[in-house]
Amino acid sequence: MTTEPDSPADAGTRGTGSQTTPAATEPSVPAQPTAEKPDEVSTDVTPGEAVSEAVSESEAVSETAAASDSTASSDRTAASVSAAVRESVPVSETKGDLTPREISPEPGAKPKIGLADTLFKNLTRTAGIGLLVLIGLIALFLVLRAWDALSANEGNFFTTETWGANDTPPVFGVAALLFGTLLSAVIALAIAIPVAVGIALFITIYAPRRMASALGYVVDLLAAVPSVIYGLWGLLVLAPHFNGTQMWLNDYFGWIPLFDVGEGSVGRSVFLASVVLAIMVLPIIAALSREVFLQVPITHREAALALGATRWEMIRTAVIPYGKPGVISASMLGLGRAMGETIAVALVLPSTFNISWNILKPAGNTIAANVANGFGEANDIGRGALIASGLVLFVVTMVVNMIARAVIARRREFSGRAA
Amino acid sequence: MTATTMPAAPAGHQSLNLRGQTLRTPVLGAIAVGAVALTALLYLVTSIHSRIQFVLIVLLLFSIGQTVASVLVEGARRARDRLVTTLVYGSFLLALIPLVAVLVAVIERGAKRLDMDFLTHSMRGIGARDAGGGIYHAIIGTLEQVGLASLMAVPFGLLVAVYLVEYGTGRISRVISFFVDVLTGLPSIIAGLFVLGFWILALGQPFTGFAGSLALTILMVPVVVRSAEEMLKLVPDELREASYALGVARWRTILKIVVPTALPGIVTGVMLAVARVAGETAPLLLTVFGDNSINMNPFDGEQSALPLYIYSQAGQPQQVAIDRAWAAALTLIIIIMLLNLIARFVASRAKVK
């Protein structure tokens, strides 16, 4: 509010408003009091105070930055206002009927900020800091609750493959779980990334402009389906249908150790879980990649086409290089999501605790799925052990997410909202 | 397949025609028919039975055939372009398969049990082997837990968003913004484990619906913050300046001008967030624990919730339990899709201008 009455005197004598004192002391400030009236009570900033605020603004900006709610709005607002003010200055000066409104402040007067303003700002800031505290609390309590179980553990937490947390003495380790988590997530990404990039390209470049947003919505619908329903579907619909594919892979690609099931048979395998996970992370990667591809400057694309490039050459030379960081970070966000996915995996995978590269065998487990499966019958140590495994998952996903966000953050205009 | 329509691209035949010759549509059609026929033959000879594989194999054969023909007629550059076009269209079709398959499965199998009786009865006294039973208690639980979570998450998230957009310029707001993003990727089970460790184990609280809504709140806050932040940023600065110029204090400007202007967008974001947490199972598993009776009070005693109900029923081997799971899944999906549709509707009706 004070940026406006600031204007006339501001042009010549920036920061030294007291020079215009004689004229300004006249009580001819029509706009301000009327404007103040509606909320006199609540804002407790009287015209005089507001003006003194304005005058001392320039001196006290640095100290009052935290509390200067009414003097300076966000940077850009202040900047654009003062720009507008500067333009209007000559006019108002020549008119003469608009008296400069700055009143000589008491020497050393401090700007007075409305109490409500200060309170509101601090309220929002508390909420923001509360969010940071929340993350700290999450980490702290996971560590605290895990501690007892970890100190009671007879095995090595990081190398033991079994999960005997409820036994006496408890012997458990996160090795097999972490392996299963990473393996299933990586396979899921290997399936999802090419398809997701294809979808993003389709929506941004190939699809007719009018249909694009509707098609994007269809892909977003995939993300709206709850994970438990994917689990249900994966367990009861996909699993029976998928055995044929798995056998075929085993028959023809069994010479690759990954697809070898040896004497056993195929079934609810890590591969099946990965396919379900791939479906679940697909919309995330697709939505983020789409957002990056949309930001490719249209001039780059047109320049490539004008040089005679085919559409694929245009994508390769203009779109992909520009969108690569975005796709990489989108994939990492998808990786984080895939690693943290619980219920779908818990429903699909049988809980076994061994490290095996044979992804077609009905075996495997992940950290999150183990928590969901094992929580019901866990005793005190068992719960602590599950929380300890959760802590590992927390750290791994946080690191992956942070890297992804750091890559995205390099591009300022990218919102990341789709995630 | 769909790629057959591609030569009619905006650029027209001539400009992309690098060697003076183009593959004609009948040729592409012939390749497509050949691919289908070859796949059908494969099906008769080998042991493949899946419909999805059928589509995939057709797609693969068509791409190969088209590429070969294109290399012969049009040259390698054009052939590569055609191949990529087919792959891109194919990948979109591929993504539709699970969406359609999931929806069809849920509707087909869920409609069997979904009736008023199912919606208005609980599972009290009904074993896994018994027919009957319903999801009344689960619907109550879900509504109460999600409602409570929204009550906590929406004001909190809005305040954070207001801070980030209106006040935050310094380092701390950058840190907060970063961690909002990081929190978006927090696995839902971790939220559950945290509430378990903090609220239930450390503070000695029982398993209640409220504990579940605490966990849901953690998951909901970052989504609300992100969407509200986007919307607040869209409010033109002129509106703020006009308000300041009238001498309105800053906090009133935010509450009376900025937030109301962005409200439709914020509502959309909130509803999408609600839709997202309504389907969360993992955190509830650790905090609400699940119960077969109707419990209206989220602050006392275990409750149930729709996702939890689906999970527990799906784990049973009996067909009646699995039928119940499908019906509950259909209910849940209807609720979530409705929320999504309403959110989209609100968004499209009242955009920030």
- Cα–Cα distance measured from residue A373 to residue A383, given in angstroms and rounded to the nearest whole number: 12
Q: Name the least confident of A75-79, A363-367, B232-236, B270-274.
A: A75-79
pLDDT over 90 percentage in chain B: 27
Residues of A in contact with B81 (CB under 8 A): 310-313
Q: Do the Cβ atoms of B53 and A130 come within 8 Å? A: no
- Confidence at residue A230, expressed as pLDDT on a 0 to 100 scale: 93
Question: Nearest CA to A405 among A341, A340, A322, A331?
Answer: A331
The better pLDDT of the pair B52, B272 is held by B272
Residue-number span of the structural domain to which B151 is assigned: 136-349
Which of B110, B145, B170 lies at the terminal end of a domain, its last residue? B110
Q: How close A155 gets to chain B, by Cα (Å)?
A: 23
% of chain A residues with pLDDT over 70: 70
Task: Say whether A393 and B280 touch across the interface (CB within 8 A).
Answer: no
Chain A hits for B194, CB-CB cut-off 8 Å, are 137-138, 141-142
Cβ contact B251–A127 (<8 Å)? no
In a domain, A324, yes or no: yes
Domain assignment of residue A60, given as a range: 7-113
pLDDT at position A26 is 42
> Which of A86, A343, A77 lies closest to B166, judged by CA?
A77
Question: CATH number, domain at A333?
Answer: 1.10.3720.10
- What mean pLDDT, rounded, does chain A reach? 75
Give pLDDT, residue B222.
92
Measured in angstroms, the CA of B266 and the nearest CA of chain A are apart by: 13
CB–CB contact A120 B326 (8 Å) = no
- Structure confidence at residue A418 (pLDDT): 46
**A164/A39 same-domain check:** no
pLDDT tens by residue, A178-216: 999 999 999 999 999 999 999 999 999 998 888 888 888
- Give the residue from B61, B76, B110 where a domain finishes: B110
pLDDT of residue B147: 93
Q: Are residues B205 and B334 in the same domain?
A: yes
Task: For chain B, positions 249-268, list CB contacts with chain A under 8 A.
Answer: 249-252, 254-255
Task: Classify residue B29 as left (phi > 0), alpha (psi -120 to 50) or beta.
Answer: alpha
Domain count, chain A: 2
Whether the CB of A67 is below 8 Å from some CB of chain B: the reply is no
* Partner-chain contact B250 A417, CB within 8 Å: no
B169 or B197, which is more confident: B197
A364 compared with B144, residue with greater pLDDT: B144
pLDDT of amino acid A109: 56
pLDDT at A163 over 50: yes
Number of Cβ within 10 Å of residue A190's Cβ equals 11
What would the pLDDT profile of B9-35 be if each residue is shown by its tens digit?
444 444 444 556 777 788 888 888 888
B313 plus B239 within the same structural domain: yes
CA of B332 vs chain A CAs: smallest distance (Å): 8
Domain presence at residue A126: no
Instruction: Give the per-residue pLDDT at B20.
Output: 64
Residue of chain B whose alpha carbon sits nearest to that of A409:
B178
pLDDT in tens, B106-161: 999 999 888 888 888 888 877 777 778 888 999 999 999 999 999 999 999 999 99
Using a 10 angstrom Cβ sphere, with 0-12 exposed, 13-18 middle and 19 or more buried, the burial of residue A397 is buried
DSSP B165: I
What average pLDDT does range A282-309 have in this prediction? Answer: 90
Task: Fill in the amino acid letter for A366.
Answer: T
Q: What is the mean pLDDT of residues B36-56?
A: 76
Is A346 a member of any domain?
yes
In Å, how far from its chain's centre is CA A157? 31
Asked if residue A105 has pLDDT above 80, the reply is no
Nearest residue in chain B measured CA to CA from A368: B189
* Alpha carbon of residue A14 to chain centroid: 42
B282–A35 C-beta distance less than 8 A: no
Least confident of A107-116, A368-377, B326-335: A107-116
Name residues whose C-beta falls within 8 Å of residue B115's C-beta, 6 or more positions apart in sequence. Answer: none
CATH number of the domain to which B166 belongs:
1.10.3720.10
Q: Does residue A306 carry a pLDDT above 60?
A: yes
- Under a CB-based contact definition with an 8 Å cutoff, are residues A19 and A13 in contact? yes
Is B37 in the same domain as B156?
no
CA B236 to chain centre: 30
Rounded Cα–Cα distance for residues A221 and A217 (Å)? 6
Per-residue model confidence (pLDDT) at position A377: 83
B322-327, long-range: CB within 8 Å, 24+ apart, which pairs?
A: B322/A236, B323/B109, B323/B112, B323/B113, B324/B113, B324/B118, B324/B133, B324/B135, B325/A232, B326/A232, B326/B105, B326/B106, B326/B109, B326/B110, B326/B112, B326/B113, B327/B110, B327/B111, B327/B112, B327/B113, B327/B114, B327/B118, B327/B135
Task: Summarize the confidence of residues B25-50 as an average pLDDT.
Answer: 80
Distance of CA B339 to the CA centre of its chain: 11
Query: What's the pLDDT at A246?
Result: 83
Q: Give the separation between CA B305 and CA B289, rounded to whole angstroms.
A: 9
**pLDDT bracket for residue A64 (50, 70, 90):** very low
In contact, B1 and B59? CB cutoff 8 Å: yes
Chain A, nearest residue to B239 by Cα:
A77
pLDDT for the residue A411 = 59
- Of A113, A130, A163, the residue at which a domain comes to its end is A113
**Does residue A380 share a domain with residue A270?**
yes
For the cut 50, the answer to whether the pLDDT of residue A37 exceeds it is: no
Per DSSP, what are the bridge partners of residue A164?
A171
Residue from the list B9, B197, B307 with its beta carbon closest to the beta carbon of A226: B307
Q: For residue B153, give Cα distances in angstroms to A398, B79, B220.
A: 21, 53, 6
- CA distance linking residue B35 with residue B24, whole number of Å: 17
Residue B95 has pLDDT above 80, yes or no: yes
Residue of A303 and A404 predicted with greater confidence? A303
A109-132: average pLDDT: 82
Asked if residue A187 and residue A68 are part of one domain, the reply reads no
Residue contact A229–B202, C-beta within 8 A? no
